[in-house]
Amino acid sequence: MKVAVLGFGTVGFGVYEMLGKAKGLERGPVLVRPGKNDMPFKVTSIEKIVSDPSVGAVAEVMGGVEPAYSYAAAALSAGKHFVTSNKALVAARGPELDTIAREKGVAFLFSAACGGGVPFLHNLALARESDEIRSMGGILNGTTNYMLDAMQRLHLDYGDVLADAQRLGYAEADPTADVSGLDALRKIMLACAVAYGTLPTDGLLHEGIESVTAADVAHFQSRGYTCRLVAGGGRAEDGVYAYVEPVLLRDGAPECSVLQNYNMARYEGANAGPIVLMGQGAGRWPTASAVLRDLSGILRGEREMFPEGLRRGEVDNSLCRHSYYVRLPAELAGELPAASAELDGDTVRMITEPLPVSQMHFEAKRLRARGASVFFAAVRE
């Protein structure tokens, strides 16, 4: 099967290289921006690809919703299998692309959009057929894991570790999506959609690591905690929840051994119990390997990751409660229900009484709207 590649950045180059050695797959044209077509295999027009009858599949690794969506819709409508690493695209337009793919009888697969090289969505799609998936999530962003790990183990500063993550090809073109938790949120949206057939779009919450400081990290460390950015999704009695937030884990918890750009994805089946998958969650070769895994899957007859009849829906993040570590200006200490608090100059570091996730995220927004610098993280004992 000849594969056209859309994009020739960090992952696109990796996909093109791997296609040169893959069984049953061959290299097709590569779509690049005008002015970047410095080799005969590089083209600048999507029409050249969708109208080429020798192209059997299109692998999109450009990122962003547009023009990726228009290109994807054109490729699927032309009867080409479509594989992508683009979580922004699938989170925004996955249901429409799934519909076109089913109408045309071609594949729409996106393992590389969640977990980098970790086969998370693939396994969720298998598990939902035979088990009831109760919850899922974990460490789903390689950039922030790399940053938090380097800040804690190597005592590096936030700005330096973000620059390193960008240089190593882990971060998105605009790293705001990584550090704000939006990238991990898109991934848990996809996981919920694969597991439950509902793509959550309303009521989602994400808190990232933008406001963490070296002093916060030193404080967690002195108290025997490690901080990780964690996504959570699942079913509670009254509905579905999905959110992303920093979490403080007791040293020795499995997440503390997730270093550098690694991810730890997990799900819990009613019968299987907890399943954990760990591997590199970002970077050229891990992500390209997931794209190739999907392309090889097409050769074996795989066609879809979403269950049939995918719809959009809302989540309720008041269904989960945690105690939170909150660092905020001392004069605002009375604004939250504290179980314990330590004064550190004009700053207070408190552990709250258990609060619904939705309430903690709301309180942080409210305090920041008043100009306060606030960092919070759920505490898992």
Host H or E run for residue 104: helix 87-104
When asked if residue 84 is in the footprint of ligand HSE (CB under 6 A), the reply is: no
Min separation Cβ 141 and ligand HSE, Å = 4
Catalytic residue among 36, 87, 187, 365: 187
Nearer to ligand HSE, 56 or 232 (CB): 232
Q: Which is nearer to ligand HSE, 30 or 91 (CB)?
A: 91
170 is an interface residue for ligand HSE by CB under 6 A: yes
Cβ pair 255, 139 in contact under 8 A: yes
User: Is residue 86 near ligand HSE by the rule CB under 6 A?
Assistant: no
The position carrying tokens 């050249």 is 48
Number of residues that bind ligand HSE (CB under 6 A): 12
Burial 229-255 (b: 16+ CB within 10 A, else e): bbbbbbbeeeebbbbbbbbbbeeebeb
Give alpha helix (H) positions in 105-242: 120-130, 142-153, 158-167, 176-179, 182-196, 214-222
Residue 155 class from Cβ within 10 Å (0-12 exposed, 13-18 middle, 19+ buried)?
exposed
How far is residue 83's CA from residue 339's CA, in Å, rounded to a whole number? 49
Residue 149 in contact with ligand HSE, rule: CB under 6 A = no
The CA-atom distances, in angstroms, between 75 and each of 4, 50, 263 are 10, 5, 31
Binding window for ligand HSE (CB under 6 A); candidates: 128-136, 171-179, 338-346, 368-376: 171-179
CA-CA-CA-CA torsion sign (83, 197, 267, 142): positive
Q: Establish if 141 lies at the interface with ligand HSE (CB under 6 A).
A: yes
Which CB, 78 or 112, lies closer to ligand HSE?
112
Q: By CB under 6 A, tell whether 195 contacts ligand HSE.
A: no
Neighbours of 130 (CB within 10 A): 9
Q: Which is nearer to ligand HSE, 244 or 282 (CB)?
A: 282
CB nearer ligand HSE, residue 29 or residue 63: 63
Identified binder of ligand HSE from the candidate list 12, 233, 281, 297, rule CB under 6 A? 281
How far apart CA 287 and CA 354 sit, in angstroms, is 38
* 348 Cβ contact partners less than 8 Å away, ≥ 6 residues apart: 327, 328, 329, 330, 332, 333, 341, 342
Of residues 283-342, which lie at the interface with ligand HSE (CB under 6 A)?
Answer: 287
Contact of 140 with 184, CB cutoff 8 Å: yes
Whether residue 187 lies in the annotated active site: yes
**Out of 60, 183, 245, 302, the residue judged to bind ligand HSE by CB under 6 A:** 183
**What sign does the CA torsion over 364, 365, 369, 374 have?**
positive
By CB under 6 A, is residue 267 in contact with ligand HSE?
no
Is residue 61 close enough to count as binding ligand HSE by CB under 6 A?
A: no
Query: In terms of CB distance, is 69 or 262 closer to ligand HSE?
Result: 262
CB atoms within 10 A of CB 41: 14
Name the nearest CA neighbour of 133 among 51, 292, 240: 240
Candidates 60, 149, 178, 363; binder of ligand HSE (CB under 6 A) is 178
| Smallest distance, ligand HSE to C-beta of residue 183, A | 5
Q: Which residue's CB is nearer to ligand HSE, number 257 or number 373?
A: 257
Please say which residue, 149 or 172, places its beta carbon nearer to ligand HSE: 172
**280 binds ligand HSE, rule: CB under 6 A:** no
Sole window of 28-36, 64-72, 164-172, 239-247 interacting with ligand HSE (rule: CB under 6 A) = 164-172
DSSP codes joined into one string, 276-328: EEEEE-SSHHHHHHHHHHHHHHHHTT--BSSPTT-EEEE--TTS-EEEEEEEE
**Secondary structure of residue 41 in the 3-state scheme:** coil
Q: Binding residue for ligand HSE (CB under 6 A) from 117, 142, 208, 279? A: 142
- Per CB under 6 A, contacts with ligand HSE among 232-251 are none
Residue 179 touching ligand HSE (CB under 6 A): no
User: Rounded to the nearest whole angstrom, what is the least distance from the CB of residue 230 to ligand HSE in the complex?
Assistant: 13
Residues that bind ligand HSE (CB under 6 A): 116, 141-143, 170-172, 178, 183, 281-282, 287
Residues marked active site are found at 187
